[in-house]
Amino acid sequence: MATVEDVRGWCDRAGMRPDSPLRAALLTTTEAAETARVATMGARGLTPEGEQDLVRRVSEAAAIGAEREMTRLARRLELRTALMLAAAAMVLLGGGYALGRWDGAGSGAARAEGLQGAAFVAQVAELNDITALRRHCERHAYREQGRLACNLPPVWIRSTLP
């Protein structure tokens, strides 16, 4: 009769994965048969009560073996799932970080220009210097519809409307 180790070796040589349900069923059945063989050694001429006790012990041994094997498989599956989730979280974290760095680098220049423009308009408003305003516009001019244009940030002259 084949032992559990024999069946495990045959499964390995056949290329069966350790988490295969068929492998678990074969190992559990072999373990139950082995336990039954050991339990029935010299059990000739049993009474009906003795047969019932033997069947109960064999059933319990098979159930314990099956539960042990299923628990081992469940632990391996839980570990694999946890590792996959951790890897996915790391990919998402890295992607979010890279996207934030890329997006932040582009908006940093625009933010600096906005601050410079606002500071300039505040200076013009404070000094009431139209020539400084003209120089700024000439320095930052761009062509639009065949003419030169200059954009300035909005300037508020009153905090509320009347």
pLDDT digits (tens, 9 = 90+) for 40-66: 666 667 777 877 777 777 777 777 777
Q: What percent of the chain has pLDDT over 90?
A: 5
d(C-alpha 81, C-alpha 90), whole Å: 14
d(C-alpha 96, C-alpha 76), whole Å: 30
118-143 pLDDT tens trace:
676 666 666 666 677 777 778 878 88
Q: Furthest-apart CA pair in the chain: how many Å?
A: 121
pLDDT at position 161: 56
The residue among 68 and 118 whose pLDDT is bigger is: 68
**Considering only 10-24, 104-118, 129-143, which range has the smallest mean pLDDT?**
104-118
Specify whether the CB–CB gap between 55 and 89 falls below 8 A.
Answer: no
d(C-alpha 92, C-alpha 86), whole Å: 10
Q: What is the mean pLDDT of residues 28-50?
A: 73
104 confidence band (pLDDT: 50, 70, 90): low
SS3 21: helix
